[in-house]
Amino acid sequence: MEKKNSSGAVAVSSKDEKGMKMDGEDRMSTLQKHVAFFDRNNDGIIYPSETYKGFRAIGCGVALSAAAAMFINIGLSRKTRPGKSLSFRFPIEIKHISGGKHGSDSGVYDTEGRFVPSKFEEIFQKHSRKNSNALTSEELSAMLKANRVPKDFGGWLASWVEWKILYRLCKNKNGVLRKETIRAAYDGSLFEQMAAERASSLAKKKS
């Protein structure tokens, strides 16, 4: 169930299955739902090995999955573990994932990790030229450039990696990234769908 707050952001309410609470309520933000797929043992913490397994589950190769796991966990671990010392196991705590938000992004997640519909629609209003419900590779690159905050090199890189991986994995046969695909990526449902499709495909090959 989705509820809007006064700012227009959407908080996705659900039963707290990972021992996480936000603002005293049983609730996962959209950003938490986005990353929860990679919590393979459902304990609220994502280790590099789980990030790797998650990327493999959605069809990424060994090299990309390994690189993504190191890039993501090293980049987010300290930011999502406030008040804790550095751990060389590089865990990510889902309940604090909003602390890992980077700059130069689309603004679709607010500071608390909630979904902002107006910012999502803005992506297509500003950058879709050939199809109002999709992004081409060129339009995606233009969006990334437009979102850059001066000298925010870490944010530039993080945004580029996120969107380029999404485009590579999810563009359709016409080479565009559909609006509904991008929406599903924001709440993580896309990853569940991709993993299920890949598992089904592998099962058919073995039979």
Residue 21 maps to a domain:
no
- Asked whether residue 22 is domain-assigned, the answer is no
pLDDT digits (tens, 9 = 90+) for 58-89: 999 999 999 999 999 999 999 999 999 999 99
Per-residue pLDDT at 39: 98
Q: What is the pTM of this model?
A: 0.85
Confidence tier at 5 by pLDDT (50, 70, 90): low
Which pLDDT tens digit goes with each residue over 105-126? 999 999 999 999 999 999 999 9
What is the β-pairing status of strands 92-93 and 45-46?
antiparallel
Category of 37 on φ-ψ map: left (φ > 0), alpha (ψ -120 to 50) or beta:
alpha
Asked whether residue 120 is assigned to any structural domain, the reply reads yes
Strand partners, 90: none
Provide the pLDDT for residue 17.
39
Domain that includes residue 160, residue range: 2-16+27-206
Percent of the chain's residues with pLDDT above 90? 85
Across the range 162-180, mean pLDDT stands at 97
How far apart CA 151 and CA 144 sit, in angstroms, is: 14
The tally of domains found in the chain comes to 1
Please compute the mean of the pLDDT values over residues 136-153 and round it to a whole number: 97
